[in-house]
Amino acid sequence: MTQSFEQPTVQVQAPLLQLNGITKVLKGQGEPRTILSGVDFTVHPGQSVAILGRSGSGKSTLLSLIGLFDRADEGKYFLHGNDITKLPERRAAALRSAEFGFVFQRFFLLKHLTAAQNVAMALVNGQGWSARRKRKQQVMEALEQVGIAHLAKSKPTRLSGGEQQRVAIARALVRQPRIILADEPTGALDTETGNLVVEVLLNTTRQGCGLVLVTHDHDHARKMGRVMELRDGRFN
């Protein structure tokens, strides 16, 4: 009789995104101001990272560089191991659509659209086209994921702050992104609602999604897998 033994495997997951030596200098009318200076940053699948820091420390700038809203002056940016440091705008837009979900402090919901239409906005962005029925199904799934499917036909003006932020999170989730970037998503909410929103965001990491949360709230930061603090454009 032969016995077979299963060899345990050690799986090293490649990082979702990796920033090496990122520097960003703000060139305005006055003296150039260094916002980020040689920042290294990595996020793995299913990992949640909180970024703490004072106002002006460069948190939001870092997030906008990660989200391809802006370009670094120096350093390298790898997404799934691919160098995307000098990506043209058109491809950056396609990546924003396919890879990232964004949640902001202000919810940025369009008042003339219903909750469902606001969520569908991420699907009607010129990056491919799906049939109306399929779009509707994706939107309802995203709204269910954040627990407000029953408010699909409500306009933002009839929703509370927490509900509006959950619509914004559903909009971020509807394309099933690999990374969620949240810039102070609880900043305009009361503590209880804020906790609820953070729970919803954390849930996404259980499905393998990476989460980068920029916050001032240490309680929320502690709930993340990793906490990093930015000070004067560098991580401590």
Partner 1 sequence: MLSGKFRSALVIGGQGIRARKLRTFLSMVSLFLGVLAVVAVQAGSEIAERAMLTDVELQSGKDGTIMGYVPGEKGAPGIVESTLKGRTDAVAMISSRAIIGEPGVRPINEGGMPFEYANRGGDYSGPMVYCDANGTCTEQKKEERKPDGQAIEVSMVALTGDIRPFKPFRSVSGTWLDFGTAPSLAPRIVLNEEAAKGLKQYRVPGEMMIDGATHHVSPQIIGVVQDGSSQPRVYMRLDELRTWMPAAAATTEVDRFRGGGTQLELYLQPGTDDLQQLIKAKLTGAGLEQNQMHFQTVNSKERMESQLKIMRLIFLGMAFLVLLIGVAGILNVGLATVGERVEEFALRRAVGMSRLLLAGIVLAETLLTGLLTAALAIGAGVGGLQVALMMFGSRFPSLQGTAFPWEAGVAGVIAGLVAGVLGGLIPAIRAARIPIATVMRA
Please give the residue ranges that form the binding site for partner 1 (CB under 8 A): 60-61, 64, 67, 69-70, 89-90, 93-94, 96-98, 102, 104, 106, 108, 110, 112-113, 117, 121-122, 124-129, 171, 175, 183
- Count of residues in the chain: 236
Complex with partner 1: residue 96 or 166, whichever CB lies closer: 96
Q: Report, in Å, the least distance between residue 113 CB and partner 1.
A: 7
Complex with partner 1: residue 108 or 235, whichever CB lies closer: 108
As a dihedral over the C-alpha atoms of residue 157, residue 158, residue 160, residue 166, rounded to 10 degrees, the angle is -80
Q: Report, in Å, the least distance between residue 234 CB and partner 1.
A: 20
Rounded distance between C-alpha atoms, residue 98 and residue 82, angstroms: 15
Return the structure tokens found at 149: 């499917």
CB within 8 Å of 51: residues ≥ 6 apart: 59, 62, 63, 212, 213, 214, 215, 228, 229, 230
Complex with partner 1: residue 78 or 108, whichever CB lies closer: 108
Return the structure tokens found at 187: 């900043």
Q: Report, in Å, the least distance between residue 66 CB and partner 1.
A: 11
Complex with partner 1: residue 174 or 202, whichever CB lies closer: 174
Calculate ∠ Cα 184-110-113, nearest 5°. 135
Q: Report, in Å, the least distance between residue 11 CB and partner 1.
A: 31
